[in-house]
Structure 1
Amino acid sequence: MTLRKLPEITAGKLPEAFAFEPDSDALEKWNAGIRAEQTTENTITMLDVIGEDWWTGGGVTAKRVAAALRQIGDQEVFVDINSPGGDFFEGVAIYNMLRAHKQKVTVRILGLAASAASVIAMAGDEVQIGKAGFVMVHNAWVIAIGNRHDMRDAADTLEPFDDAMASLYAERAGVEKKIAARWMDDETWFNGEQAVDKGLADAFLTVDTKTDSTAAAAATPVNATRRIDAAMARAGIPRSERRSLLGEVKGGKHDAAPNVTHDADDWTAAARRLTETLRS
């Protein structure tokens, strides 16, 4: 069995000036309820945002993937992905872990592999995708806060990541790097047929998928909260203050939906503070 030789992506220290957040468009289009009908014991599921998710306590982390690989051991691995992306540093770490696995890695894109999740998908020796699935590629996307020096540092930090991703997509698709870079500049969405046609995936899924409406419904308020959180971050509000404001609106629990039984006056006051903060 000949395995694909994949390039390593080197990630340095994350500057304090910015933080990776899931792309709001990807969050809106992500159906969290899509999952495989059947899975094998040597399957790693990535059906959440990439990186630790403060709001739910979940998220796909490098630590979790490393533990799963140790448990699976020296055998073929299947990776089921349905993710809007998230923390690029975590995505790079997971990609490098999978590419270093000595046995075949088969990636199955059940619904969406966007942003950092698309980087992880490229670690597969074989990449399968559903005809109704999507791959989204774009330049590394962050929310940056600080002065002009912080902004320059952030841009300088991101540039080699974008170049590495362009090389990765180009090698997988068999195209010139400038073409892959253009896909990223345009934030390109490929449906299943387009992904296979362009070479970002090798074949269509051979496993059945199902939609869990309960899981999708449960994710809806959490996704809305994530989008509000991203909007506040773009407005320059520190993470600690964002968490405090949203925690008030949600009754003080980070993994709860907005609490409609919370005292109406308290809820209204918290919501008003949130609105005023976004407008300021």
Structure 2
Amino acid sequence: MTVKIEINGPIVSNDDAWIYEWFEMEATWPRKVIQELDKANGENVIVSINSPGGYVWDGSEIYTALKSYPGYTESQIVGLAASAASFIASATNKTRIAPTGQIMIHNASSIGFGDHRDMTKTAERLKVTDRTIVNAYILKTGKSEEELLNMMAEETWMGPQQALEFGFVDEIMFADNTVKFAASAANSPGLIPQPVIDGIRNKIKNKEDNAPDNQDSVVTKESLQQMLAKFKDELKNELQPKPKEPEQAPAAKRNLSKLFLNL
């Protein structure tokens, strides 16, 4: 049996949950997720995520609960996993994203009151918070703290392909997620793209399947060279650099009275 847990709407505190329920607004809070995990009782859990994020500490409590769960867990980013929701998505055994899904990571923000000393303390607390959040991303992606902190500082938006490339997700839902990595300079020029290799393999197979049962059905070096010659233009096109995924403009920011991550 598989249990589904939905993380929709903002990540709020247990104390604030009642007002969202009262207004019949979607929201997610730690106690709600923890109770659902307790009911799952070790069964497989699918965590469906479409959330703009919210309070850091409450998101951390949800992250820890998922990370500590004894059964198999899988996140499915069906819409947006932004801010606090992005590190919640990294807590499960596997993270998958819909072809239309997005991830956004950025620095923590807060409102401070007091004199210059209080403002300095608030700034230091935010730096500490950023470094605690980045630990979740390090565990998920294997990237360095410096690189991830820079991505947070730039408010990085990722589509499915970027999220897979950067290691924030393990798979793109409904797609062939076979990914090969190469250690080479200048983005590995000269490597034949996997789709072209697959196309050649399929043409060879079709030639063998459709040919008469004689020597003409054998694929030789010469026949393969003739076949590859026909792919010359196709290979050139495939090896051209692909345009990058367009960046999305940042959403307007809101101010709240607690230390939190928000859009």
Structure 2 length normalisation: TM-score? Answer: 0.61
Deviation at 1:142, TM superposition (A): 2.0
User: Do 2:45 and 2:74's aligned partners in 1 also have CA atoms closer than 8 Å?
Assistant: yes
User: Do 2:2 and 2:44's aligned partners in 1 also have CA atoms closer than 8 Å?
Assistant: no
Deviation at 1:103, TM superposition (A): 1.2
Residue aligning to 2:9 = 48
Residue aligning to 1:195 = 163
Equivalent position to 1:140, from 80, 87, 108: 108
| Structure 1 gap ranges (5+) | 1-39, 208-226, 240-280
Output one character per residue of 1:92-134: Cα deviation in whole Å (capped at 9) or x when no partner. 1100110000111100000100001001111011000012111
What count of residue pairs does the alignment treat as equivalent? Answer: 175
- Measure the CA separation in 2 of the matches of 1:142 and 1:58: 23
Output one character per residue of 1:247-276: Cα deviation in whole Å (capped at 9) or x when no partner. xxxxxxxxxxxxxxxxxxxxxxxxxxxxxx
Residue aligning to 2:139 = 171
**Does 1:103 pair with 2:64?**
no
- Measure the CA separation in 2 of the matches of 1:200 and 1:58: 25
Q: 1:206 to 1:103 in 2, by over 3 A?
A: farther
- Measure the CA separation in 2 of the matches of 1:102 and 1:160: 29
Residue aligning to 2:93 = 125
- Measure the CA separation in 1 of the matches of 2:40 and 2:139: 28
1:136 alignment partner AA: M
User: Do 2:2 and 2:46's aligned partners in 1 also have CA atoms closer than 8 Å?
Assistant: no
Residue aligning to 2:29 = 61
Residue aligning to 2:44 = 76
Output one character per residue of 1:181-233: Cα deviation in whole Å (capped at 9) or x when no partner. 110010100011110111100001249xxxxxxxxxxxxxxxxxxx79x36x6
Percent identity, aligned pairs only?
29
Deviation at 1:138, TM superposition (A): 0.7
User: Do 2:2 and 2:43's aligned partners in 1 also have CA atoms closer than 8 Å?
Assistant: no
1:137 alignment partner AA: I
Stretch deviating more after TM superposition (67-76 or 140-149) = 140-149
SS at 1:143's partner residue? coil
User: Do 2:7 and 2:50's aligned partners in 1 also have CA atoms closer than 8 Å?
Assistant: yes
- Measure the CA separation in 2 of the matches of 1:167 and 1:46: 21
2:154 alignment partner AA: D
User: Do 1:144 and 1:151's aligned partners in 2 also have CA atoms closer than 8 Å?
Assistant: yes
- Measure the CA separation in 1 of the matches of 2:37 and 2:80: 22
Residue aligning to 1:181 = 149
Residue aligning to 2:81 = 113
SS at 1:45's partner residue? strand
SS at 2:111's partner residue? strand
Equivalent position to 1:152, from 120, 127, 130: 120
Task: State the superposition RMSD in angstroms.
Answer: 2.4
Structure 1 length normalisation: TM-score? Answer: 0.57
- Measure the CA separation in 1 of the matches of 2:51 and 2:26: 12
Deviation at 1:89, TM superposition (A): 1.1
1:80 alignment partner AA: S
Residue aligning to 2:53 = 85
Q: How does 1:251-262 map to 2 (within 5 A)?
A: none
1:161 alignment partner AA: T
User: Do 2:2 and 2:45's aligned partners in 1 also have CA atoms closer than 8 Å?
Assistant: no
Output one character per residue of 1:37-85: Cα deviation in whole Å (capped at 9) or x when no partner. xxx8611101111114645365200011111111111111110000000
- Measure the CA separation in 2 of the matches of 1:206 and 1:145: 48
Q: 1:62 to 1:120 in 2, by over 3 A?
A: same
| Structure 2 gap ranges (5+) | 176-251, 259-263
Segments of 4+ moved more than 3 angstroms: 52-58
Higher Cα radius of gyration: 2
- Measure the CA separation in 2 of the matches of 1:78 and 1:154: 37
- Measure the CA separation in 2 of the matches of 1:119 and 1:85: 9
- Measure the CA separation in 2 of the matches of 1:200 and 1:166: 12
